[in-house]
Chain A
Amino acid sequence: MNMLTMEPAKPLLSIRDLTMRFEKPRSLSDAIARRPRQVVSALNGVDLDVMAAETLGIVGESGCGKSTLARCIAGLHQPSGGDILFEGESVVGLKGPKRRAYNKRVQMMFQDPYTSLNPRMTVRDTLREAISVHRMREGAAIERRIDELLDLVRLPEGAADKYPHEFSGGQRQRIGIARALSLEPICLVADELVSALDVSVQAQVVNLLLELQDNLGLTVLFVAHDLRLVRHVSHRVAVIYLGAIVEVGPSEALFSRPRHPYSQALLAAAPSLDPADRKRAPALSGELPSPLDIPPGCPFHVRCPHAAERCRIEKPALRPVGAGMAACHFAETISAV
């Protein structure tokens, strides 16, 4: 429909005010003390557009909700509130054939290739199962497709008839990618895909992702802690803090001039490759806030070096700043250190 028109790119995925709360069962002592049930607020109103064929990097503190967001998008969690639009249509609460169709088009790839592959199935069996269960091909075309996929992820000839333990970590990661691609998705959600691999194998997997994206026009959500890699692969980057986006923008702009104080602290904490350049002071001080009890006002105010009275009361909205968006009352006046 909008294939050949020159209108501005439409988002493939739109995430609107997404919330995810995990209610904890009330313990006996809570019940006796009449304390309310505890709730982990993992996502607190995430707004995010993902454009077709882009790589969106997602970074943030451990426990800030990155995996929860990825799982909501892949349909593995039912969000508590808000909406996820895929090509303009809501996919929250999809059931039956529509759910299956969506799950086929948006594939999640997990960090651990060891546990996500069946050790008793050869690569061919694994791929054949995926292809036939989802009726991607029939009969002889299945075997042809398997060869095509192995070629695509550059696995050596003869790999099809081997078992997972006969491969290296990076090769196993490729098997996982081949399986995800067998369903011809248009969107890949990669949660810490390469963090367990050595840098040379990481480079191989990243090169493969970049190449597939250029050839197949895939949209990729790249969740990772390695800022150097995120910067290298992403068109845009979103920074999450306590379950909300605090900054999002073009990768180069965000890395060269982060606007939000949390993004600044995060980038400053990246370990330098120069042993002579050991940092003296910790990147962030102050008490870590808990998703059980989100601070009022700006959620970052308890640790922010620039916090003012207003920050303790008024929650900053995500608004345009520079080339991207940031959620900080003083984003314009705070300069990157």
Chain B
Amino acid sequence: MSEPRQHTVLELRYLRTEFGSRERPLIAVDDVSFSVKAGEILGLVGESGSGKSITLRSILGIVRPRGRVGGEILWKGRDLAALDEAALRKVRGREIAMIFQEPMSSLNPLLTVGLQISENLATHTDLDARARKTKAVELLEMVGIPAARNRLGDYPHEFSGGMRQRVMIAIALASNPQLLLADEPTTALDVTIQDQILRLIQSLSRDLGMAVILVTHDMGVVAQTCDRVAVMYGGRLCELGTTTQVIGDARHPYALGLLRSIPRDVAPRTPLYSIPGAPPSLSALPPGCAFTARCPVAGLECGDVRPPLAAVGQHHQVACHRRAEALAHFRQHEAAS
């Protein structure tokens, strides 16, 4: 768990990323603020399309050319949002590395896996060709690719989905980054290899002080890996707290609904709970709470007044006007089921 003496390395202040025209913008990330300490693993969860990947991409300045990033991205005190492309490139891949969500679209299909790792090592380290090859084998073994030496000559399509994902992880970890942005790094992995990769990330974080933002849909992964969790909905943060607080004692109606959708203690092949309604269009969000249209306890003020993140306990913050009603509503359902 994070200790007080550890220092904040990344701080987002009112991060806002939009697409489309300035007159009618599509706001993918809307005033998101949070910080991450050295050696800390922050989980980022939320609905498909809620802005998790765009948040990570904004940190590295790779939503350009068409996305507009506003707010401050303080990396060890320096505002990345104010840096030009040349200065950002020095930070990217070296100090801050990212594991992208779709391995197939970030690997070059025409180059062998070995060559792609080696090229990356050439950009970010001083190793010579021979040392790079040795290091590439080491990295692949570290992420659990058997007989790695014999597979350097394989093309991405000759790897399984999970093997490609592990190549991306190996490339990201090659430069010993101080901040790892991991966008669903284990979705294509079975639980035993997932376990191995998460242990690897945890030990790098614990032993070398690497800070991590881990985007995932798997609440089990969050429970087992993260120190704190942030929940996003409609481009905004709706809940932030320690893992125990968010998983065991969620307060925001969206977070409560999400947790209820996990199949546990339900009879096989019976319908699962899912949050009713469809996600909001990002270009037509209400001025108030983004969850209004789907919220079971929405009140009159919800559509007009935006709920601020407010403390509900030490480290625990929730953006909702009607927290007491929300708790009562979901408790009642739990009791009924």
> Chain B 94-109 against A: per-residue CB contact (8 Å), 1 yes, 0 no?
0000000110110000
- The answer to whether B6 has its CB under 8 Å from any CB of chain A is no
Assess the B196–A273 pair: CB atoms within 8 A: no
Q: How near does chain B come to A225, taking the closest CB pair, in angstroms? A: 5
- The answer to whether A322 has its CB under 8 Å from any CB of chain B is no
Assess the B190–A61 pair: CB atoms within 8 A: yes
Interface residue from A201, A211, A251, A270 paired with B274 (Cβ < 8 Å): A201
Interface residue from A228, A272, A274 paired with B263 (Cβ < 8 Å): A228
Assess the B278–A195 pair: CB atoms within 8 A: no
Q: For the complex, what is the distance from the CA of A121 to the CA of B43, rounded to whole Å? A: 36
Chain A residues near B160 (CB, 8 Å)? 62-63, 67
Instruction: Name B34-56 residues within 8 Å CB distance of A.
Output: 45-49
Chain B residues near A90 (CB, 8 Å)? none
Assess the B147–A292 pair: CB atoms within 8 A: yes
Size of interface on A: residues with Cβ below 8 Å to B? 70
> Chain B 242-258 against A: per-residue CB contact (8 Å), 1 yes, 0 no?
01100110000000011
Assess the B244–A276 pair: CB atoms within 8 A: yes
Given contact pairs A62-B190, A67-B160, A283-B195, A199 touches B224 in the complex (Cβ within 8 A): no
Of B122-130, B174-182, B212-220, B299-307, the one touching chain A: B212-220
Q: For the complex, what is the distance from the CA of A271 to the CA of B220, rounded to whole Å? A: 5
- The answer to whether A279 has its CB under 8 Å from any CB of chain B is yes
Chain B residues near A273 (CB, 8 Å)? 219-220, 223, 247, 262, 264
Q: How near does chain A come to B321, taking the closest CB pair, in angstroms? A: 22
Q: How near does chain B come to A200, taking the closest CB pair, in angstroms? A: 4
Q: For the complex, what is the distance from the CA of A290 to the CA of B258, rounded to whole Å? A: 38
- The answer to whether B272 has its CB under 8 Å from any CB of chain A is yes
Chain B residues near A228 (CB, 8 Å)? 262-264
Assess the A282–B195 pair: CB atoms within 8 A: yes
Interface residue from B48, B159, B193 paired with A168 (Cβ < 8 Å): B48
Assess the A278–B274 pair: CB atoms within 8 A: no
Of A12-20, A126-134, A229-237, the one touching chain B: A229-237
Assess the B190–A266 pair: CB atoms within 8 A: yes
Assess the B271–A272 pair: CB atoms within 8 A: no
Q: For the complex, what is the distance from the CA of A227 to the CA of B150, rounded to whole Å? A: 31
Assess the B261–A203 pair: CB atoms within 8 A: yes
Assess the A279–B224 pair: CB atoms within 8 A: yes
Interface residue from A22, A168, A199 paired with B278 (Cβ < 8 Å): A168
Chain A residues near B257 (CB, 8 Å)? 200
Interface residue from B46, B153, B190, B279 paired with A225 (Cβ < 8 Å): B190
- The answer to whether B189 has its CB under 8 Å from any CB of chain A is yes
Instruction: Name A232-291 residues within 8 Å CB distance of B.
Output: 232-233, 235, 251-252, 265-266, 269-279, 282-284, 287-291
Q: For the complex, what is the distance from the CA of A252 to the CA of B268, rounded to whole Å? A: 9
Chain A residues near B147 (CB, 8 Å)? 290, 292-293
Q: For the complex, what is the distance from the CA of A192 to the CA of B278, rounded to whole Å? A: 23
Assess the A199–B261 pair: CB atoms within 8 A: yes
Assess the A207–B223 pair: CB atoms within 8 A: no
Q: Which of A55, A168, A252 has the most CB atoms of chain B within a 10 A radius of its CB?
A: A168
Q: How near does chain A come to B217, taking the closest CB pair, in angstroms? A: 5
Q: For the complex, what is the distance from the CA of A64 to the CA of B221, rounded to whole Å? A: 22
Assess the B146–A288 pair: CB atoms within 8 A: yes
- Least CB separation from A288: chain B residue: B146
- The answer to whether B311 has its CB under 8 Å from any CB of chain A is no
- The answer to whether A60 has its CB under 8 Å from any CB of chain B is yes
- The answer to whether B286 has its CB under 8 Å from any CB of chain A is no
Instruction: Name B160-205 residues within 8 Å CB distance of A.
Output: 160-163, 166, 184, 187-196, 199
- The answer to whether A111 has its CB under 8 Å from any CB of chain B is yes
Assess the B243–A275 pair: CB atoms within 8 A: yes
Q: For the complex, what is the distance from the CA of A200 to the CA of B231, rounded to whole Å? A: 14
Q: For the complex, what is the distance from the CA of A282 to the CA of B162, rounded to whole Å? A: 19
Chain A residues near B101 (CB, 8 Å)? 196
- The answer to whether A157 has its CB under 8 Å from any CB of chain B is no
Q: Which of B49, B159, B244, B247 has the most CB atoms of chain A within a 10 A radius of its CB?
A: B49
- Least CB separation from A289: chain B residue: B146
Given contact pairs A196-B184, A203-B272, A266 touches B191 in the complex (Cβ within 8 A): yes
Given contact pairs A203-B263, A203-B272, A196 touches B48 in the complex (Cβ within 8 A): yes
Chain B residues near A282 (CB, 8 Å)? 195-196, 199
Q: Which of B189, B193, B264 has the most CB atoms of chain A within a 10 A radius of its CB?
A: B193
- The answer to whether B144 has its CB under 8 Å from any CB of chain A is yes
Instruction: Name A103-158 residues within 8 Å CB distance of B.
Output: 111-112, 115, 156
Interface residue from B190, B217, B220 paired with A60 (Cβ < 8 Å): B190
Chain A residues near B221 (CB, 8 Å)? 271
Assess the B47–A198 pair: CB atoms within 8 A: yes
Q: Can you report 5 A-B residue pairs in the complex whose CB atoms are below 8 A from each other?
A: A200-B258, A200-B275, A204-B274, A290-B150, A292-B150
Known: A111-B161, A112-B102. 16 other contacts (CB 8 A): A22-B158, A24-B153, A171-B278, A195-B187, A203-B274, A207-B271, A211-B271, A227-B191, A228-B263, A231-B268, A252-B268, A271-B195, A273-B223, A279-B224, A282-B195, A290-B147
